[in-house]
Chains A and B, each alone.
Chain A
C-alpha cells in the first residue's frame, strides 16, 4: 500500500472539514477524490502533504506509520503536489522557478537542471522551453512547469488539486495522457475533481466525499455517472441532462465593432466585439478565465465605456449611459464575484436586494425615501422561491454559503424582470442542487421572453443551457453559431483563439463530446 489514511479528522471553527476519513492508494493507482465544493477534498490533500495538521487519525506511507511535519518532509518521502493556484514567479524562467523549489544538492548546476527539465519533458510529453519566462506561458504550460518540478524528484505520489479547472479541452486530453504514463511507471496519483467524466476517463478508483465524510468508494469504469453523482450529492437529487430549446424573438442588445482599451496594464483589450442577444434565447460564451470576460461584463453593465463601436438596447444607443440608466431600461447583471461585487457581505439580504433593486423598486422617487417594509417582503419572497438557506431576510450576505447567496442574487435580478440578463459564472462554486435550480430559473426567464448571455468556464453548463455558442479569447470573440453546429472540439479551438476552426473535424473528437455530455 502506497498511502493509507485511517480515520483522519480535521475541524475548523464552525465546521468539520474532514470527519473520520479513510483512504487507500496502491502503487501506480490513479485515485480520484470526488466531491462538491466544500466537501473537504482540499483539506484532505493538504493534510496528506503536511500543509495542515490533522486533529486525529493515522497515516501510513509505504506501510509505515508517518506523521508529516510539513511539505518539506512530504517531498522527502516522495510526494509532490500541484495546487490549484500555481506558486510560480512570473518574472523568472522555467529553470529558475524549478531551481527555487529544489535544494542545490538536488539539482547540481543550472545547466544540468536545464537538461533534466528537457529530458523529463520529453519522457512524459510535457514539452516546455526551459528558458522562457513564466509570465509568457499559458496557464496550461504553467501547470506543466508545476508537474515537471514534482517529477524531478523521486516521486511516488503526485497530488493534483482540480488540475483541469483551468485548462481547455485539448489541454485536458494532454494532461490525462501524461498522468496515465506516470501511473504506468508506478507513481500513484491522487486526482481531485468534481467533474465526473474526467474521473471516468482517467481514474482506477474513486473515493467520494460529502460534507467532510466518505460516502463511498467505487471503480469509476464500473459505476455510472449518475450513481457517483448520487454519492456526491445525496439521494434526492434529480439531474437534468437536457433543457428545452428557446425560440428567438426580437433583438434586444446589440454590440457592434466595439473596441475598449484596457483600464490598466493587466486589463484585456476588447477588440471588434460583435454580438446580438435576442429575446427568448440564451447565448453561451466559453473561455478560459482572464480573456476579456470581466471587461465584457463591465462593458455591458455600464462600468466600462467603448472607445469605438455601437452598443444598443432595443435599437437605442446606450453607449454613453451609466449603470443606473441601463438598469432602468431593463438590464440585469449577475457578476462573477458575488461577495466582492454582487453583494455586500456585512449587509442584510434586504439591503442586498436594494443594492441593484433601487432602480426598479423600494425607493420613493423624488425624495429617495427607502421603504424597508416592502423590501423586506420582497427579500422573503426571493428566499422562499429560490429555497435560499438563510435565517431570514435579516441574515447578512456573509452568513450564507456561496451557493445560497448566488441563488439569492440570481433571484434578485430575475425578480426585476429584466429584458436582458447577463450571468457571469452563474453556478461557479455552487452545489449541483442549487445549480439545477438556477438553471431552471434561467430557462424559465428565457421562456418568458428575456435575452440571456451566460459567460462560463463550465462547458457542460453552456451546452446544457445555451441556444447559441461562442467563445472569447484574448479580448476577441469567436464566431457565434447555433449549439448544434458547435461540437466541443470546435469550441475548444475557439477558446484557444483558433477562430477559423469549423465543424468539419468532428469525427476525431466525438469521444470528447460524449464524455462531456456524460452527465
Chain B
C-alpha cells in the first residue's frame, strides 16, 4: 500500500472529506465515551441529537450559530485570499469590550439611534483590532498568523482589565462583571420565549453578500487570484495591499458584529468568559465548509451543535464541558488528514498503474505510421 499523487485533484473527495472527517470524529467520540465508562451510542445521542430534539433546543442552536457564522463569513474572505487571520477571537473580544462600554454609556439614552450606534461601534472596534495586523503585514511584512494570535491574548487581557476595573458594575458586589445592559441597547429577539435575535438575519444577509462578492464581482475575483497565485495577481496589477486591508477590515467588522450579537443578545453584559472560542471554532467552520457560503452555513450548525452537546453532556453524562473542545479538535484534525485524499490516493498494489484510464488509453493508441 502506498500513497500516490492524483492526476487531478478529486472533486468528490473535496466534498466527501468533511463527511469522512465527521464519521471518524463520531467513531473516535464513541470510543472515547466507552473508555470513560459511558454507553457509546447513548452518549453520542446525548451529545448530537438530544440538544436539538426540541424546538427550544433548535433555537438555542441558532443562538450558537449566529456568532460562529458571522466570524466565519469574515474569515472566508481572508482565507480565500490566503490571508491567514487567526484573530477573529481577539477581534471578537475587543469588539465586545468596546461595544459593551458603549452599551453601558447609552444605558440612560433613548432613541432609534441607540442600537445602531452599539452595533456600529462593535463593528468598528473589530475593524480597529484587525487593522493592527493589517498595518503590520502591509507596512512591515509581519506574518499575520503570528500577529493575529498574539493580538488575541492582548484582547482577552484587555477585557479582563476592563471587567475588573473601569467596566465593573459598581453595584455588583465586586464580581468581575459589568452591569446588565439596558433594554434599548439589546438586539430585539425574533420570537418571544426564545433567545434568537435579529443578528441571525444580519448573518444570513452577509452570507449572501460574500456569495455574490466572490462569484460575481471583480473584487471577489481579485481576492481569489491573490489566494491562488500571488505573482499572477501582481503581474495583473491587482493592488495586494489594498486587498489585504479590505479582507482584514471586513473580517474584523464581522467578528465585531458577532461580539455584539452575543453580548447584546443572549449574554446581556460583559463577563470575563464571554467568548466560548467562537473566533477559533469559526476557523474550523470555514475549512469544514470548503470556503463556500453554503458549506459554512452547514458547518456552522455542526460546530454550534458541539457547544450544545458539551453542555448537555455535562448535565446528563457528568462529563466536563470541555468535551466541546475535544470534538472540535477531532473534527479539524480528521478534516486536515482527510484533505490529503483530495490531492493523493491510496494505492494497494503496483499493478493498478496500468489500469489507470489515461494509461490504458495511451497504451491502446495505435503506433503512428512513419
The yes or no verdict on A and B being binding partners is yes
Q: Is there a chain B Cβ closer than 8 Å to A65's Cβ?
A: no
Say yes or no: A346 contacts B359, CB within 8 Å: no
Given contact pairs A234-B368, A337-B231, A370-B218, A11 touches B236 in the complex (Cβ within 8 A): no
Say yes or no: A356 contacts B236, CB within 8 Å: yes
CB neighbours (8 Å) of A322 from chain B are 237, 239
Say yes or no: B234 contacts A303, CB within 8 Å: yes
Given contact pairs A15-B362, A346-B228, A358-B218, A215 touches B370 in the complex (Cβ within 8 A): yes
Say yes or no: B237 contacts A323, CB within 8 Å: yes
Closest to B358 in A: A14
Q: Is there a chain B Cβ closer than 8 Å to A345's Cβ?
A: yes
Q: Is there a chain B Cβ closer than 8 Å to A16's Cβ?
A: yes
Contact digits for A203-219, partner B, Cβ 8 Å, 1 yes 0 no: 00000001101011000
Interface of chain A, main secondary structure: mixed
CB neighbours (8 Å) of A210 from chain B are 368
Contact digits for B214-244, partner A, Cβ 8 Å, 1 yes 0 no: 0011110100110011011011110100000
Closest to B359 in A: A11
The B323-370 residues at the A interface (CB cut-off 8 A) are 353-354, 356, 358-359, 362-363, 367-368, 370
A74 to B370 alpha-carbon distance, docked (Å): 34
Q: Is there a chain B Cβ closer than 8 Å to A343's Cβ?
A: yes
Closest to B224 in A: A347
Say yes or no: A13 contacts B5, CB within 8 Å: yes
Say yes or no: A11 contacts B353, CB within 8 Å: yes
Q: Report B219 CB to chain A, min CB distance, Å.
A: 6
Closest to B216 in A: A370
Q: Is there a chain A Cβ closer than 8 Å to B316's Cβ?
A: no
Which of B216, B237, B239 has the most chain A CB within a 10 Å cutoff? Answer: B237
Say yes or no: A324 contacts B237, CB within 8 Å: yes
Say yes or no: B224 contacts A13, CB within 8 Å: no
Interface residues contributed by chain A, number (CB under 8 Å): 47
Closest to A364 in B: B218
CB neighbours (8 Å) of B217 from chain A are 367-370
A447 to B7 alpha-carbon distance, docked (Å): 42
Q: Is there a chain B Cβ closer than 8 Å to A185's Cβ?
A: no
Q: Is there a chain B Cβ closer than 8 Å to A341's Cβ?
A: yes
Q: Is there a chain A Cβ closer than 8 Å to B8's Cβ?
A: yes
A6 to B77 alpha-carbon distance, docked (Å): 56
Say yes or no: B221 contacts A351, CB within 8 Å: yes
CB neighbours (8 Å) of B239 from chain A are 322
The A1-59 residues at the B interface (CB cut-off 8 A) are 11, 13-16, 19, 55
Given contact pairs A210-B368, A344-B229, A335 touches B235 in the complex (Cβ within 8 A): yes
A235 to B5 alpha-carbon distance, docked (Å): 35
A327 to B216 alpha-carbon distance, docked (Å): 23
Residue of B219, B235, B362, B370 near A342 (CB, 8 A) is B235
CB neighbours (8 Å) of A342 from chain B are 232, 235
Say yes or no: A213 contacts B228, CB within 8 Å: no
Say yes or no: A344 contacts B232, CB within 8 Å: yes
Say yes or no: A303 contacts B235, CB within 8 Å: yes
A290 to B363 alpha-carbon distance, docked (Å): 41
Closest to A347 in B: B228
Q: Report B347 CB to chain A, min CB distance, Å.
A: 10
Which of A213, A301, A327, A355 has the most chain B CB within a 10 Å cutoff? Answer: A355
Residue of B7, B225, B234, B368 near A347 (CB, 8 A) is B225
Q: Is there a chain B Cβ closer than 8 Å to A274's Cβ?
A: no
CB neighbours (8 Å) of A11 from chain B are 353-354, 359, 362
Q: Is there a chain B Cβ closer than 8 Å to A417's Cβ?
A: no
Say yes or no: A370 contacts B221, CB within 8 Å: yes
A322 to B234 alpha-carbon distance, docked (Å): 10
A256 to B367 alpha-carbon distance, docked (Å): 56
Closest to B4 in A: A13
CB neighbours (8 Å) of A347 from chain B are 224-225, 228
CB neighbours (8 Å) of A302 from chain B are 237
Closest to B7 in A: A14
Given contact pairs A13-B359, A15-B362, A16-B362, A340 touches B232 in the complex (Cβ within 8 A): yes
Given contact pairs A13-B7, A215-B368, A399-B8, A343 touches B356 in the complex (Cβ within 8 A): no
Say yes or no: B359 contacts A343, CB within 8 Å: no
Given contact pairs A213-B368, A354-B221, A369-B217, A16 touches B363 in the complex (Cβ within 8 A): yes
Q: Report B33 CB to chain A, min CB distance, Å.
A: 41
Closest to B8 in A: A399
Say yes or no: A323 contacts B236, CB within 8 Å: yes
Residue of B232, B237, B359, B367 near A16 (CB, 8 A) is B359
Say yes or no: A355 contacts B236, CB within 8 Å: yes
A37 to B148 alpha-carbon distance, docked (Å): 46
The A212-262 residues at the B interface (CB cut-off 8 A) are 213, 215-216, 231, 234
Closest to A324 in B: B237
Can you give 23 A-B contacts (C-beta < 8 A)?
Answer: A13-B7, A13-B359, A15-B359, A15-B362, A213-B367, A231-B370, A301-B235, A303-B235, A323-B236, A337-B231, A340-B232, A343-B232, A355-B236, A358-B221, A358-B236, A363-B218, A368-B218, A368-B219, A369-B216, A369-B217, A370-B218, A370-B221, A372-B216
In order of increasing CB-CB distance, the 4 nearest A-B pairs are: A323-B237, A368-B218, A324-B237, A341-B235
Residues of A within 8 A of B (CB): 11, 13-16, 19, 55, 210-211, 213, 215-216, 231, 234, 301-303, 322-324, 326-327, 333, 335, 337, 340-347, 351, 354-356, 358-359, 363, 367-370, 372, 398-399
Residues of B within 8 A of A (CB): 4-8, 216-219, 221, 224-225, 228-229, 231-232, 234-237, 239, 353-354, 356, 358-359, 362-363, 367-368, 370
